[in-house]
Amino acid sequence: MLTSIWNAILYQPLLNALAALVSIIPGGDVGVAVIVLTILVKVILFPLSQKSIESQAEMNILTPEINKIKASGASKEEQAKQTFDLYKKHNTNPFSGCLLVLIQIPVIFALYYVFLKGINFQSGLLYSFVKVPVHINMIFLGFLDITKKSLVLAILAGISQYLQAQFMPKPALSLGADNASFSDSFAKSMNMQMKYIFPFIIAFIAYNISGAVALYWITSNLFMVGQQIYVQREKNFKIVIK
């Protein structure tokens, strides 16, 4: 039952969208269709992902105030109350960013699964009004076979993941490096891993699956870089206006 729901709500619509794109793209270049579909999904999810990025940035801005509350010597109950009042004053929900990410995960995973499973338009999952593309070209831009491993695309996927991590909002330490709490140390460690280790993992996965998956990661990461730059500029602009 869960598989049927998954196919009906997420996987099948995305597969049909990909088939429709391949039909209208000159030469039936599936690689170009993968890029276009990834961008379309990212644009649809843009409001949610933007709010998530903004929420993380707002939490970083409030960190100094939270530090003062922690250093005040008040009881845990009083600290919790003051922290809640601070969030309420700035209209910030510390859990909203996580919630918005969780909402996006099924859609993003379904898009990834379309490319991971292998692009097959003969599976019987196409809608009646979506025809099987006449021309299906798996050679991206005429020289990269996206059904096979691609070292070039895998390296680019790793580089794009590194760039994406570079532009992520940086976690702020609570009480300085000497008195950093466990959560601060964990956040810093995760940030370092996302920046220097995760790109190698993405490159390794992209190389060992297919060029289509690598194209997905490259497009997705570069879109996120652009979005993070946009959010940062919007935040700076609002600060200047104030």
Least confident of 10-24, 45-59, 195-209, 215-229: 45-59
Q: Which residues form the domain of 193?
A: 2-241
pLDDT in tens, 80-133: 777 877 777 777 766 665 655 666 678 777 878 888 777 777 767 788 888 888
Kindly write down the DSSP assignment for every residue of 180-200, as one continuous string: --HHHHHHHHHHHHHHHTHHH
Say what the pTM is: 0.75
Over the chain, what is the mean pLDDT?
78
Q: Are strands 144-145 and 139-140 parallel, antiparallel or unpaired?
A: antiparallel
Please, which pLDDT band fits residue 190 given cuts at 50, 70 and 90?
A: low
When pLDDT is averaged across residues 35-60 and rounded to a whole number, the result is 80
Rg for the chain, CA atoms, rounded:
22
Long-range Cβ contact pairs of 206-209 (< 8 A, separation 24 or more): 206/153, 206/154, 206/157, 206/158, 207/149, 207/150, 207/151, 207/154, 208/149, 209/116, 209/149
User: pLDDT tens for residues 126-153?
Assistant: 888 888 888 889 899 888 888 888 899 9
Number of domains in the chain: 1
